[in-house]
Amino acid sequence: MTSQQLIEKLISDKTLITPRIIKAFKAIDRKDFVLIQDKDRVYEDQPLSIGYGATISQPTTVAIMLEKLQPQPDNRVLEIGTGSGYMTALLAEIAGKRGKVFSIEYIPELKGLAEFNLRRYNFRNVGLFVGDGKAGLKEYAPFDRIISSASGDETPKSWKNQLKVGGRIVASVGENLVVLDKTSKKRFKQEEYRGFIFVPLR
C-alpha cells in the first residue's frame, strides 16, 4: 500500500473528513516517523514500535483523534507524548504560522528521535519538552486543544486547568477515547468512544 492509497482508504471509510486534516495527512509522510526496519510496513493500518515501549499509532486512530480534536489554524495545542513526532507534525501542519504546538515527552531518547524526524519539515511553530506529561505545561498555558495518545486512569486535573474555556481535550482513558469540551471555568461536557488500546501514560 502507498501513502496515497492509505489516505484514500481513510477517506472512503469516512475516518478522514475535514479538508485541513486530509491536507495535513497528504503533507506529512508517515515513513519519516517509523524505524528503518519497519519501512516496508509504514503504510499498513497498524501501530508500529518506535522503541522504549512506545509506538507510532495506527493511522486510523490518529485520524479519529484529529477529527475529534478539530484543531484550528491559529490554535495553541498541547500534545502529551511526542513519540517519534508523527502526530506532532500533523498538528504543526494544521496549526500553521499563526498556531503553536507544544509537545511533552517522558523519554528523552524519544524527544531526540522526534527532533531528528521533524527537521525534515522545518517547522517553526513546534516546541518539544521532556517531562511529566500528567503535569502538562503550565508555563505555556492556556491551550485551545490538548491531545494525549497515552492511556491513563483519568484525565489529569492539570490538563483541565490549562485548557481555555471553549477548548477541547481528546485523551485516552483506559480503553476509551474521551472528548472533553470546557464550557466554563469548572464545567465540562464529556463524550466517550470505546474500543481503543494505547500505551500507558508515564
Catalytic residue annotation? 57
**DSSP code string of 30-42:** GGGGS-GGGGGGT
CA distance 65 to 172: 10
For cell 463524550, what's the residue? 191
Report DSSP state, residue 200. Answer: B
Residue type, 133: G
Q: How many residues does the chain have?
A: 202
CA distance 202 to 181: 24
